[in-house]
Homo-oligomer: A and B are copies of this chain.
Amino acid sequence: MPYFDAASSAPLHPVARQALQASLDEGWADPARLYREGRRARLLLDAAREAAAEAVGCRPDELSFTGSGTQSVHSGIYGSLSGRRRVGRHLVVSSVEHSSVLHSAASHEAAGGSLTEVAVDRTGRVSPEAYAAALRPDTALAALQSANHEVGTLQPVAEVAELCRAAEVPLFVDAAQSLAWGPVEGAWSILAASAHKWGGPAGVGLLAVRKGVRFAPQGPPDERESGRAPGFENIPAIVAAAASLRAVRAEAEAEAARLRDLVDLIRARVVEVVPEVEVVGDPVRRLPHLVTFSCLYVDGETLLHELDRAEFSVSSGSSCTSSTLTPSHVLRAMGVLSEGNVRVSLPFGTPAEDVDRFIDVLTWVVTAVRTKLGAPAAAAGPVTASEAVGAGAGAAAGTGDLTVDSLGRLCPIPVIELAKAIGDLPVGGVVTVLADDEAARLDIPAWCEMRDQEYLGEHPVDGGTAYRVRRRS
């Protein structure tokens, strides 16, 4: 039963399981106590810190264990901002950071701080120049992920770190997605990561703060973990986290090469077997195990459900699979299609046969969903007039233009109706799509880009938004 969502959480690595079980008997006592049981717990904790620090590429006394990657992010960002309060309250983040970073940034802004979000290109990558341009004399902190969690694009961390160093601004790096594959290069200042992303247990985050970085832990004081992670240390889980990080690192180079080939296969085959698909993210400068693509005329929720029925577990940045009904902020920031979005992230050890079978299953699942939704014939070029009898479509007589009323209908219906209607028009004619689903704002322009039609823009209408598209070919 193939699990292809390692970027959410990786299955427990066998070494993590062994280390956890082995340390349950010695790791339960308070490491701050001086008696025998406390000393044993302290030895385990110290050894785990040494091992994890080596893998991170920092000194043991720069590394704290927290209760989760999210806690590491919150503590790291607020501690740095607070430590540099005298410099100013300006924070720079990329627009494709993990939600824990963006939520921290939003809270900082709500509390009176200022915020700059650096845009990304269509591959999801920031440019070091744009990043440098965002730095100001009052910038307290800059944050940049090592690799994007939704599309796998690697960020230019080393270059950005160098530019930050020149500007004397500390750089916070969310390394959650990349730490299994290797240390983060460059002169970063603060780093956060999460053990369950590399096959360690849940309940362990890493927070590294380089010596010399001004840092003021937030919240009530607590003597544990340099004051950066209040609460009793979870030593068996910490031991398991450190041991499994070493174990995955030992396999990383060979496994990265193998998974990179499998992902290249998916990237190549998906566009062959599934018409109207857009593979997103940087094809080369990317995580080895992760690929994301979006399928026109398919809703993500049904797609995931059908893949799950066929025993493939993947995730999606489509709006319909999220409780917020808005598409993933990463896809939005990249300006790429969000409908029918699938993220595949292969765990260590994924067999090649599973990937082959996935491509087969995907082909027929997408076809089945499209047929059920009444999508236009999945071929290049606009659909024929006879197919374009959408429920809400009506010709505005005499003008050659059409209005499609998709108010109240969810992704991917507005795009399907647009695709059907545009075939009824002569080249130069304009389709106006009325929609209130947030995904339309991203997906209608993205569809125009994919299908080489001209997107004219949007304006508000009663109960929603009108999107205007001119037939170009």
Chain A residues in contact with chain B, CB under 8 A? 1, 3, 5, 8-12, 17, 20-21, 24-25, 27-30, 33-38, 67-71, 74, 100, 103-104, 106-107, 194, 196, 201-203, 205, 219-223, 230-237, 304-305, 307-308, 311, 313-315, 321, 323
- Contact status A205-B221, CB under 8 Å: no
- Contact status A67-B71, CB under 8 Å: yes
B contact residues around A315 at 8 Å (CB): 33
Residue on B nearest A72 in the bound complex, by CB: B231
9 contacts between A and B (CB under 8 A): A34-B304, A35-B314, A38-B313, A67-B234, A103-B221, A103-B222, A106-B220, A223-B323, A234-B234
Instruction: Tell me whether A17 and B9 are in contact in the complex, defined as CB-CB below 8 angstroms, given that A33-B315, A232-B69 are known contacts.
Output: no
A397 to chain B, nearest CB (A): 45
Residue on B nearest A103 in the bound complex, by CB: B220
- Contact status B24-A12, CB under 8 Å: yes
Q: Which one of B17, B38, B74, B201 contacts A234 once the chains associate, using CB atoms below 8 Å?
A: B201
A197 to chain B, nearest CB (A): 9
User: What CA separation (Å) do A35 and B308 show in the bound complex?
Assistant: 6
New A-B contacts (18) at CB < 8 Å, excluding given A34-B308, A68-B232, A202-B235: A8-B29, A8-B33, A10-B28, A12-B24, A12-B28, A20-B20, A27-B202, A33-B313, A35-B314, A37-B313, A38-B313, A67-B203, A71-B230, A74-B220, A100-B220, A194-B232, A201-B237, A205-B231
Residue on B nearest A70 in the bound complex, by CB: B231
User: What CA separation (Å) do A220 and B219 show in the bound complex?
Assistant: 13
User: What CA separation (Å) do A203 and B20 show in the bound complex?
Assistant: 13
B contact residues around A233 at 8 Å (CB): 202
- Contact status B311-A36, CB under 8 Å: yes
- Contact status A33-B21, CB under 8 Å: no
A196 to chain B, nearest CB (A): 6
- Contact status B34-A305, CB under 8 Å: yes
B contact residues around A220 at 8 Å (CB): 74, 100, 103-104, 106-107
